[in-house]
Amino acid sequence: MKLFIYPNFEKPHSRECTSAVISMMSELGCEVSLPIKCRGETDAAGVSFLPPEEGAGGCDIMISVGGDGTILKCAQLASVHDKKLLGINCGRLGFMASLERREISALKRLVDGDYTVDERMMLDIEITREGGGVSLCALNEAVISGGYGSGIRDFEVYADGVQVSSLRADGLIFSTPTGASAYSLSAGGPLIEPSLDCIEFTQICPHSLFARTMLFSPEKLIEVKFSAEGGCEASVIADGRKPEALSDADRLTIKRSEKRLKLIDILGGAYFRAVNSKLMKPVKAEDDVKGGEL
């Protein structure tokens, strides 16, 4: 089995976790490679260093060692090359990770094929403009907003050519079910089980008393228009990457991507375990304290 390990050495404990994973999987007979930028960052023996595209294209399974941001970076490579991805959390939340770093002994199940694979929907974001356009792909979300201090904007949202919303807001979030637990959740959106396919539309600080999240069928083609009156700027950000500037003459569309991320779940029930232990933890901890006082 060939493994391509993509670590984020800026995360605490990621170096020792990466070394432990390399040692364990090498002993199990796996061929291990890392991105070329990691050369000199680890003293593990028997490891090859490859450009990310080559490493992802030639492996059987990708392993991300870091936080959710590291998984998002790997998701782009994994989906393009149709590879399975496993996340090991060395960050703060690690909501999409299958394992915490203390659980890496479970990695031996990879060799035995003792795991399940969750296929996650992704989004294609297209910006069409005179002289060319931009194509983006996102596992979590596409965020349409402006820079600091640029003011509230007027937006129009269309589904298959029919207007479904005209609003004023700081911005808009279009997320997958995977991304429902990220920015959209903080903006008041609901959790959505990742096995569902839909496009979630959540407004950021809308100037309305009645704003609610809307769910679209995954077959819908979403189009967003905005007004640039008063010098208001806007941009679209896919999965937290570099913003792409927008003008009101651009055509911005969002739809379900043909690419899907194959996310490995080794211990089973990773999503609901994460909801219970990570998103509900502050509430549960508070209840425990109150219970102790009684």
Cα–Cα dist 186/50, whole Å: 37
139-176 residue pLDDT tens: 999 999 976 555 678 999 999 999 999 999 999 999 99
**pLDDT, tens only, 216-253:** 999 999 999 988 665 667 899 999 999 999 988 899 99
Task: Tell me what pLDDT residue 91 has.
Answer: 82
Contacts of 120 by beta carbon, 8 Å cutoff, 6+ apart: 139, 176, 177, 178, 194, 260, 261, 262, 263
User: What pairing do the DSSP bridges indicate for beta strands 84-89 and 251-265?
Assistant: parallel
pLDDT tens sequence across 21-64: 999 999 999 999 999 999 988 777 889 999 999 999 999 999 99
* pLDDT per residue as tens digits for the range 185-200: 999 999 999 999 999 9
List CB contacts of 107: < 8 A, sequence separation 6 or more. Answer: 21, 24, 25, 86, 99, 266
Whether 286 has a pLDDT exceeding 80, the answer reads no
68 included as an active-site residue: yes
The DSSP output letter for 190 is: P
Distance (Å, whole) CA 126 – CA 254: 7
The amino acid that residue 168 corresponds to is R
Catalytic residue among 43, 60, 68, 288: 68
| Domains of the chain in sequence order | 2-114 (3.40.50.10330), 123-258 (2.60.200.30)
